[in-house]
Amino acid sequence: MLSEDYQKIADAIIYAFEAHEGATRKDKKLPYIVHPLRVYASLREVGVTDCAVLVSALLHDTIEDAGKTKEELAQLFGEKVGEYVDYLSDDKSLPRDERKVKVRERLKDAPIEVKLIKIADRLDNVLSVEISGWTDEKKRKYLKESELLIESLTNNLVDDKKSKLIRKFAEELQKMIISLNQQLNP
C-alpha cells in the first residue's frame, strides 16, 4: 500500500470514531467503534490491501447509523468509498423484514468488494450474538437472516482472490451459525 493509503485509513478511523462517538454495540457496553475496526482488521488479516475496501469497511455503518451521506463520504474519501458504503447501508425508513429482503436482493449483484465487506461485517456481527442480550428467538431469526445473506453474497462469484475470500468467510460464518443454533436448540 502507498503512504497516501495509510493516511486515508487513518483519516477514516478518526472519522468513524467521531461518527460513532457515544454509540455502543448490542451489549450496550462495548463502544461501537470496535465493530468497524474489527471488520477492517479481519480484511487486513486475510491480505486485503485495496484502500477503498479498507476505508469502506471502517465507514460501512456511517450512513445507516450516523447520518452521514454518500456524497459526504465520496467527497472526503473518494467515489468508490461513497458507492460501497451506500451499497452497504439499509434504508431504515422501511420495516425491518422488508429492509432485509431488499438488502439481500441488492447484494446479489453488488460489486465483489461490497460483498467482501458485507461478509466480514456479518461475521463480526454473528460473533456478537452470544453477548447481545437478545432473546433466543431474536437470535434464531438473526442467524436465519445470516444464512439467507450468505446465499446472496456467494451468488455470481467467479474464481478470483476476492471471491475465494468471500467463500472462506462464508464457510467460517456458516460454521458459527451451526454452532450457535446448536446452543440455542440443544
DSSP labels for 39-92? HHHHHHHTT---HHHHHHHHHTTHHHHH---HHHHHHHH-HHHHHHHHHT---T
pLDDT of residue 85: 97
Each domain of the chain, given as residue ranges in start order, spans: 3-184
3 state SS of 21: coil
Q: Which residues contact 47 (CB under 8 A, 6 or more apart)?
A: 165
- Mean pLDDT rounded to a whole number for the chain: 93
Q: Give yes or no for residue 103 having a pLDDT over 80.
A: yes
Instruction: Using pLDDT thresholds of 50, 70 and 90, give the confidence band for residue 119.
Output: very high
Enter the C-alpha cell of residue 171. Answer: 464457510
- Lowest mean pLDDT segment, chosen from 23-32, 111-120, 121-130, 168-177: 23-32
Q: Rounded distance, CA 84 to CA 120, Å?
A: 14
Which positions are catalytic?
64-65
Instruction: Check: CB of residue 124 under 8 Å from CB of residue 42.
Output: yes
Closest CA to 36 of 7, 8, 15: 15
Share of the chain above pLDDT 90, in %: 77
Q: Rounded distance, CA 24 to CA 38, Å?
A: 14
Has domain 3-184 been given CATH number 3.40.50.720? no
pLDDT of residue 186: 74
* Region 20-44 average pLDDT: 92
Q: Give yes or no for residue 80 having a pLDDT over 90.
A: yes
Report which DSSP code applies to 94.
S
Q: pLDDT, tens digit, for every residue of 122-172?
A: 999 998 887 778 889 999 999 999 999 999 999 889 888 999 999 999 999
